[in-house]
A = this chain, B = another copy of it.
């Protein structure tokens, strides 16, 4: 560990202390060999980790550091939400190239701590190393849920309705715009800028996911990171069921129209694009009224997009123009065009 690394960590520790609220479950945060936590009574602990590597998962060339700090936390908050849990504590490992100086890290942590504060998340630890090969960010998130209340991928049942929050495709459209040369202009707010923002600074459905878990409304849930098709296939594989998507019901983000005018291609980009960080879940139709209530209270649009069906091949089907056809679960390779 180099002297500059100690200074970096001391600065971060001081900032984390300023940003931290009193917390009965946190016994000891940054500054020892490990953090010490006490789980709340009757709660289970959730833990997830997301690795973001420069030039694979993001490019510094077009990413405002503040947005990268936001995204590093948001992607892990989304995983906790997808378990029906509530986020509590985070850790952050940073592989730091020379190109990222003090100014970069101040902005990065502005974005990180702003989102953390919004959701009552406390940074309790991490590690740093220099990284000549490029920036690497490993975002570790701890959450909690009531005992036995975690919403797994494996609970979907034949006859369940399939729901998704928000809309999909904007992030993939934003990425395509970035790869085509469009750049962030924070003073503007047109559809192009919204698409870039959806990709570079995604919002996780933190409160909605937690409420769904608390009130045990979903049988299975996942966040849409690999694309709707692939993530729904994960639920099917884990649950031993199949799914039929109703093509006309899928909520496609308006930003998709910026990059695909052909309806079929727009649909493909939306369902295979990924990084939407919407929540995809299955629930019995009898819970629809309660779902609508929570959606309203958390300001989230929820759309029914299909149905879980009894088929042992764990495959996807697409209902379109009154016909049901097989539907591939593959994702979209943005860099292959």
A residues with CB within 8 A of B? 1-2, 27-28, 31-39, 44-57, 78-80, 82-83, 85, 89, 91, 93-95, 124-134, 136, 138, 140-143, 145, 147, 150, 152-154, 221-223, 225-226, 238, 274, 331, 333
Contact B48 A150 (CB under 8 A): no
Instruction: Give the interface centre of A130, A136, A274 by most chain B CB atoms within 10 Å.
Output: A136
Q: Are A140 and B57 in contact (CB under 8 A)?
A: no
With A93-B51, A140-B49: A33-B124 Cβ-Cβ less than 8 Å: no
List B contacts of A274 (CB < 8 A).
1
Residues of B within 8 A of A333 (CB): 2
Q: How far is the CA of A28 from the CA of B46 in the complex (A)?
A: 9
Q: Are A57 and B91 in contact (CB under 8 A)?
A: no
Main secondary structure of the interface of A (DSSP, over half): strand
- Given A83-B32, A129-B57, is A138 in contact with B93 using a C-beta cutoff of 8 Å? yes
CB neighbours of A238 from chain B (8 A): 31-32
Query: Once bound together, how far apart are the Cα atoms of A82 and B44, in whole Å?
Result: 25
Do B27 and A38 touch (CB < 8 A)?
A: no
Residues of B with C-beta under 8 A to A57: 129
Structural contact, B45 and A36, CB atoms closer than 8 A: yes
Contact assessment for A51 and B94 in the assembled complex, using a CB-CB cutoff below 8 Å: yes
B136 close to A91 (CB less than 8 A): no
Taking A85-B34, A93-B138, A331-B1 as contacts, is the C-beta distance between A53 and B130 under 8 angstroms? yes
